[in-house]
Amino acid sequence: MTRIDDKFATLRAEGRKAFVAYIMAGDPDYDRSLEIMKGLPGAGVDVIELGMPFTDPMADGPTIQLAGQRALAGGQTLQKTLDMVTEFRKGDTETPIVLMGYYNPIYSRGVDTFLADATKAGIDGLIVVDLPPEEDDELCIPAARAGINFIRLATPTTDDKRLPKVLENTSGFVYYVSITGITGAAEAQADTVAPEVARIKSQTDLPVIVGFGIKSPDTAQAIAGVADGCVVGSAIVSEIASGKPVAQILDIVRGLAEGAHRA
Q: Residue 90: what residue type?
A: K
Answer whether 35's CB lies under 8 Å from 158's CB: no
Angle at 115 between CA 92 and CA 122, to 5 degrees: 5
Alpha carbon distance 68, 96 (integer Å): 22
Answer whether 143's CB lies under 8 Å from 164's CB: no
Alpha carbon distance 46, 60 (integer Å): 23
* Residue 39 phi, psi (nearest 5): -85, -10
Alpha carbon distance 38, 89 (integer Å): 9
Alpha carbon distance 248, 257 (integer Å): 14
Catalytic residues: 49, 60
